[in-house]
Amino acid sequence: MRICPICTGNQVIDGAIRFDHGGLLFELNQCLSCAHLFYVNTVEFNFREDFVHKRSIRGYIEKIADMEQTLSVVYNVLHENPSWKLGTDIGCGVGIVMDFAFTMRQCRMIGFEPSPDYSEEGSNVLKLHVVPDYFDLKYLQGQYMDFATCFQVLQLVSDPLTFLQEIKRGLKEDGVLILSTPDNEKLKDDNAVSHYFSAFSPGVHRQLFSKESLQAALTSAGFTETAIFRYNGHLFALAGSKDLSDIDLFRLNPEVLTDYYIKKLRLLQPGSSYFNGFWYRLYRTKIDKGDYQDAFEMLTSVDWFDVWSAEEINAISKPEKLFELNTAADGIIYYYTAILFLNHLHRVEYAEKFFELSFYLCSKIIQLHPEVSTIEKDIVWLAKYHQILALYYQGKTQQANLEAYQLRYHQKEFYNHIDHPPHDLIEKVVNLQEKYR
Ligand SMILES: [Zn+2]
């Protein structure tokens, strides 16, 4: 009989979730007492030599979807604890959290990152203290940490209880662990594997926590006070030895983030992935806030961005070609540039073109590089909707109607590999057709 690796309960449903991926059958068991999900397959994934990671590194630095959220969480906790000066980031990736903590709160952090491409970026470009290895107390050399961060790592670990105990041993008595991991709440829904594929990450993830199993894991690792929050499909936890429930963990701090991006853009070389990533985030933030003039000035001062034609984009057939783009975020930058043309410069014909390019490129990225296409999935249909809107604005009614029809009925050859547009978007298109009939 199988036993739950977290609560050691012996009521386990074998094969609670089964799916096929890459010709292999993957199976997850679920504990009936704590709802923990764990893979039966024990494919050992070696982060030290992984070529997919190497290729995806640009995508992560330049546009990783949840960076703003993660940095806001870190900022909100550090802001409440101004005396903290020393921390560790376990699974620090390219070191953005460490760099942010130092730049904005003067906290020094020791990072752990076994994947050499990631750890080298952080060490060489951002000059951070990154240990190119798995977390091990010996590297802390007897220093105890005010805090530890561990984002999106716990699900990768084969023995989470021992791992959490080690982290606890590296903390000061009143030290705090801040962590996040996918929430398994919706993973048994229909179509969950395709909707939440990154949470499943077959062959890479080992455990998928429920709120209860995360609570159980932290408690048995010796954390006496914990606060666990559900947020956007993830669980966030604060764990320590004093009450932590008061912190407003998810308050977004756009002005702090903007300040950070501007500081970094002054220091970094244009053309580096970090530079591109911060540039894109600052540009997008300005447009989201309606600071169009600032965004326009950013755009006109750029000399490293070439716009690809629709023919060039549609001719892309291999993921390698995507790496010749200016940045991994080009499809999103086109979208925001189109918004700028539409709302600020009132050049509808240019807006229409950029929305169209954004649609084509986002759709290519979803097809060829799905692992890092979360934002593209969010905007691909918005881009098409706005393109149709821009066509109507220009009186190109016939073309607009055709595009609207194809969107509603998902009828276009290259639509096949992207999910159907959401219902509310289809409704908006129907309303447009009515209005411009
Ligand atoms: Zn359990």
pLDDT tens string 75-118: 999 999 999 999 999 999 999 999 999 999 999 999 999 988 88
214: CA distance to ligand 1 center in Å? 10
Dist. CA 27 → ligand 1 center (Å): 17
Ligand 1 midpoint to CA 3 (Å): 8
Share of the chain above pLDDT 70, in %: 95
Residue entry with tokens 């966030």: 236
- pLDDT score of 414: 57
What pLDDT is stored for residue 50 in this prediction?
55
* 214-271 tens-digit pLDDT: 999 999 999 999 999 999 899 999 999 988 878 899 998 889 999 999 999 999 988 7
Least Cα distance to 108 among 120, 99, 118 occurs for 99
Provide CATH code, domain 47-240: 3.40.50.150
Give the count of beta carbons closer than 10 Å to the beta carbon of residue 22.
7
pLDDT digits (tens, 9 = 90+) for 172-224: 999 999 999 999 998 988 888 888 888 998 888 999 999 999 999 999 999 99
pLDDT at 64: 73
Tell me the three state secondary structure of residue 419.
Answer: coil
> Ligand 1 centre and the CA of 44: distance in Å?
23
Cα of 159 from ligand 1 centre, angstroms: 14
Q: Which pLDDT value is given to residue 53?
A: 53
**412 pLDDT more than 80:** no
Buried b (16+ CB within 10 A) or exposed e, 357-393: bbbbbbbbbbbbbeebbebbbebbbbbbbbbbbbbbb
pLDDT at 66: 73
Mean pLDDT of the chain: 91
pLDDT at 56: 67
Helix axes 116-124, 51-63, angle to 10 degrees: 40
What's the 162 CA to ligand 1 centre distance in angstroms?
16
At 34-79, the pLDDT tens digits run 999 999 866 655 666 554 555 567 777 777 767 889 999 999 999 9
Q: Give residue 35 CA to ligand 1 midpoint distance, Å.
A: 6
Give ion ligand 1 contacts, CB < 5 A: 4, 6-7, 9, 31, 33-34, 36
Q: Does pTM top 0.85 for this prediction?
A: yes
Secondary element (H or E) of residue 173 = strand 171-182
Helical axes 330-343 vs 292-300, angle rounded to 10°: 130
Rounded CA-CA distance 362/418 in Å is 10
Distance between Cα 387 and ligand 1 center (Å): 50
Determine how many CB atoms are found less than 10 A away from the CB of residue 91. Answer: 23
For residue 405, report the phi and psi dihedrals to the nearest 5 degrees: -60, -45
Q: Specify the pLDDT at position 364.
A: 93
Q: How far is the CA of 163 from the centre of ligand 1 (A)?
A: 17
E strand or H helix that includes residue 218 = helix 211-220
User: How many whole angstroms from 92 Cα to the centroid of ligand 1?
Assistant: 28
Sorted by sequence, the CB contacts under 8 Å of residue 83 that are 6+ apart come out as 146
What is the number of other CB atoms lying within 10 angstroms of the CB of residue 102? 18
Q: Is the dihedral of CA 363, 196, 261, 91 positive or negative?
A: negative
Dist CA 164 CA 220 (whole Å): 9
Q: How far apart are the CA of 15 and the centre of ligand 1, in A?
A: 15
Confidence of residue 411 (pLDDT cuts 50, 70, 90): low
**Extents of the domains making up the chain:** 47-240, 305-435
